[in-house]
Amino acid sequence: MAKSKDLEFGGVLGASAMVLCLPLTVYGLTLVCNKESCTLGGVSANIIEGVEFLPDVVTWCILLSWITLQVVFYYNPFSATKTGMPLCTGEKLKYRCSGFSAFVFSVLAFACLCYYEYDVTIVYRHFVRLITATTILSYGLSVYLYLRSINVKQHQLATGGNSGNAIYDFFLGRELNPRLGDFDLKFFCELRPGLIGWFMLDLVFMVQAYQWYGRVPHTLVLVTIFHGLYVADALWNEEAVLTTMDIVHDGFGLMLAFGDLVWVPFLYSLQARYLLEHPEYPSTIWLIALVLLNVLGYWIFRAANSQKNNFRKNPDSMPDARTINTQSGRKLLVSGWWGMCRHPNYTGDLIMAMAWSLTCGFGSILPYFYPIYFLGLLVHRFERDDVACKKKYGHDWKEYCKIVPYKIFPYIY
């Protein structure tokens, strides 16, 4: 396989910056949004001095027990085997899809701990220590992935993470599908420990709120439900991730390892943690409006993704769909949701993200980190996808863009 020439994420300099700055971002947002205040200037020397950063034995026990539990759930008898997209060799890998049952078992296990009065809020008290431990785990995993990729065959490397620069390839990931036997490391990390862990943190915050206030604020309940439905939907439709850029195109390196294991659980739960530490009590009308906004976003998100996945599986199953034939032999969908803009699923995703942050009111900008960051992420992902499609479809892609001119927001962008 030829060396990667078109480097992404700002090339070597950008990758180097992210290797250093990603953990600092997680620590920074965790420290500035604390129980005392949640502003960009909310961190002080006194707060930092009172924070325990280094993981202790309890922290490692929590983290490793959680990872082990997810591995056990990965191999549960309720799993189904699904086939991935064709590799460059024509081979199609098999994937064990048991994410939704793992989610259900995890929630039941949490309920059992609460029923037997186990102190689940120990996770909240070890929050920063868990960030450190998970960061160490993700960087250690990334080193292992890079070292093992040195000896794999050329056709097993990802198209993007094979530049020859150690830092860039370490960040982006060299090997496309690293496996231990039939255990796919990237697929496991993509939707298991971090995504389910995000919702588990929300549940911990609810228990902590009840201990502090004698009740759980409605906004905290609402955002936990929003997050739970989103996670459950992703795991119910776990097979759909097999067609995404993360699985099909990107290698498994620090970008995905840190993102899956650290970024997702500890930053995506920021809204719930904010509502634990800074409760909001809006009117019933406002809560209903937020529910309707989230339902709207979810409807667009799910309907668009379902249409896309059905079309990718079997284009002939949608005889009424308007399509463009390409020289590559594949068809491009230009009707339904996908005739309104090129990524209507992103539109729904961003609407839901705003609904989640709006539960936090307007006392701080920091709970709005998720939709702000997510907008940047999706725009960047869109541009990466656009470049790849231009190379793949050539002139046909130009025709497609004329028919579907809007990128994410119809009539806006």
Instruction: Give the model's pLDDT for residue 49.
Output: 67
Tokens of 360: 């936090």
Tokens of 109: 């296990």
Greatest Cα-to-Cα distance within the chain, rounded to the nearest angstrom? 65
Count of residues in the chain: 413
Q: Confidence class of residue 262 from pLDDT cuts 50, 70 and 90? A: very high
CA distance 78 to 104: 11
Specify the pTM.
0.90
Residue that the structure tokens 């009539």 belong to = 411
Strands 183-184 and 92-97: unpaired
Residue that the structure tokens 């040195």 belong to = 150
Q: Using alpha carbons, select from 129, 64, 81 the residue that is nearest to residue 266.
A: 129
Instruction: State the Cα angle at 204 between 200 and 210, rounded to 5°.
Output: 145
Residue that the structure tokens 């809204």 belong to = 271
Tokens of 93: 């890998």
Across 123-127, 219-223, 272-276, 409-413, least confident range: 409-413
Q: Using alpha carbons, select from 60, 33, 202 the residue that is nearest to residue 121.
A: 202
* Orientation of helix 218-236 relative to helix 193-213, angle to 10°: 160
- Cα 310 to Cα 86, 186, 245, 303, 403: the distances in Å are 17, 24, 17, 11, 21
- Cα 45 to Cα 48, 49, 51, 267, 390: the distances in Å are 5, 6, 10, 22, 50
Tokens of 126: 């070890």
What mean pLDDT value characterizes the chain? 89
346-389 per-position pLDDT tens digit: 999 999 999 999 999 999 999 999 999 988 888 888 887 888 78
123-152 per-position pLDDT tens digit: 999 999 999 999 999 999 999 999 999 988
> Where do the structural domains in the chain lie, given as residue ranges?
11-281, 284-413
CA distance 79 to 97: 5
Percent of residues, the chain, with pLDDT higher than 70: 94
48-105 per-position pLDDT tens digit: 666 788 999 999 999 999 999 999 999 988 788 888 888 878 888 999 999 999 999 9
Q: Looking at residue 333, what DSSP letter applies?
A: E
Residue 125's contacts (CB-CB under 8 Å, 6 or more residues apart) are none
Decide if pLDDT at 1 tops 80: no
Instruction: Give the model's pLDDT for residue 276.
Output: 97
CA distance 277 to 36: 8
Instruction: Give the model's pLDDT for residue 355.
Output: 96
CA distance 323 to 139: 43
Instruction: Give the model's pLDDT for residue 38.
Output: 87
Sign of the Cα torsion 403, 405, 408, 409 reads negative
Residue that the structure tokens 């996945």 belong to = 309
CA distance 360 to 342: 31
CA distance 176 to 191: 17
Decide if pLDDT at 172 tops 60: yes
Is residue 249 classed as helix, strand or coil in its secondary structure?
Answer: coil
Q: Confidence class of residue 44 from pLDDT cuts 50, 70 and 90? A: low
H helix runs in 151-283, sequence order = 166-172, 185-191, 193-213, 218-236, 245-248, 254-258, 264-268, 270-277
Confirm if 23 and 360 have CB atoms less than 8 A apart.
no
Q: Is 217 exposed, middle or buried (0-12, 13-18, 19+ CB in 10 A)?
A: buried
